[in-house]
Structure 1
Amino acid sequence: MRRLIATVALCAALAACATAPTVYAPAAGAQAVGFSELRIEPGRYRVTFRGGPGAPMTQVADYALLRAADLTLADGYDWFRVVDRYVAQSGDGGGSRLSVGAGGGSGGYRSGVGVGGGASFDLSGGPALTQTIEIIMGKGAPPSSARGEVYNAADVRRTIGARI
């Protein structure tokens, strides 16, 4: 019994190490947790933030907006407008699974039958969410007739940045 408990504890610890936490940092690769961006033209970017498994949608959306604000300020602009937004989900969150198998065989004067079972438990925390936004940047006062979401980059940086 002790061996079983130790094995389960070790598997849980390994699974926890394999799950990437959601932090506001550049993504180390195409499928890694973090932000990335693509400059489409001057003053226009596509910003992506990929959260770790189980990260709340609000956190993923906030981090995408924060990266947009950082880019806007770094390029010398005052505000940005979100002109396109989409969310993707990868992984299904796993879930628990149970399987049972049986087999038999014979050879010469001997025969045997075996039955086995297995179980797996999802320790990932849930599916990973990715939010991608396309932004257009501007200087001065934001246009009052702008369609879409318009944000003051300094305000976004101050408000969301204070929470991380």
Structure 2
Amino acid sequence: MKNLIQVMVLLSAVVLLGACASAPAYKQATSKGGNGYTDIKVADDRYRVQYQSNSKDVLDVTNMALYRAAEITQQRGYDWFVVTSRETFVDRNSVEPNFAMGVGRHDTYQRECGLLTCQTTHRPTHSVGLEISNSRERSEVQSILEIRLGKGMRPDDNSYSAADILTNLAEVKED
């Protein structure tokens, strides 16, 4: 019984750690339709940037696309960019199965009293729980930006400084 409990505790820890995994890190997509960024040059000063992730947070994915746009801007020798088109897609899918397992141990004390004395008995109790469900959802978020690059003074408030984006959204790369 003790070995069974140890195995159940180990399996529970593995399941819980897997459930707590964070969204994919900032990276280049390795395949078409894969998680990460892709970009394509549309004209000399125009690019289409796409970031796709299994994150449930649309803002995180949008920030990653902006970060990539800022990287492109600096890599090409420009200072700022304007987002000329922006699209965001969220696709929610059910993932099967959702598996949960739990192991518990608690102590049961029972006290019986007679006319002259009381007797207390102690008994450890173990419990094992298992749940399988197919109701877990996964979200796939895709942010697509079309950008126009520029040098010198920024034209207006609708433009982004590449240096500011790279500084202010630096945590995107570290998550």
Flag whether TM exceeds 0.5 (same fold): yes
Q: Does 1:156 align with 2:158?
A: no
Q: Does 1:72 align with 2:85?
A: no
Give 1:11 deviation, angstroms: 9.1
Tell me if structure 2 keeps the 8 A contact 1:77–1:139. Answer: yes
Q: Which has the larger radius of gyration?
A: 2
User: Equivalent residue of 2:70, what SS?
Assistant: helix
Q: Does 1:86 align with 2:87?
A: yes
Q: 1:102-134 deviations in whole A, cap 9, x for unaligned?
A: xxxxxxxxxxxxxxxxx533556x311010000
Give 1:91 deviation, angstroms: 3.5
* TM-score, scaled to structure 1: 0.68
- Rounded to whole Å, the distance in 2 between the matches of 1:95 and 1:12 is 14
Give 1:135 deviation, angstroms: 0.1
Give 1:51 deviation, angstroms: 1.4
Q: Go from structure 1 to structure 2 and tell me whether the alpha carbon gap of 1:127 and 1:162 turns closer, same or farther (over 3 Å shift).
A: closer
Count the aligned residue pairs. 138
- Residue identity over aligned pairs, in percent, reads 26
CA RMSD of aligned residues (A): 3.4
- Rounded to whole Å, the distance in 2 between the matches of 1:16 and 1:143 is 46
Give 1:15 deviation, angstroms: 6.7
Name the one with the larger strand percent: 2
Please name the residue that 1:141 is paired with: 153
Q: Where in structure 2 are there 5+ consecutive unaligned residues?
A: 99-131
* TM-score, scaled to structure 2: 0.64
User: Equivalent residue of 2:38, what SS?
Assistant: strand
Give 1:29 deviation, angstroms: 0.9
Please name the residue that 1:63 is paired with: 64
Give 1:60 deviation, angstroms: 0.4
Please name the residue that 2:133 is paired with: 120
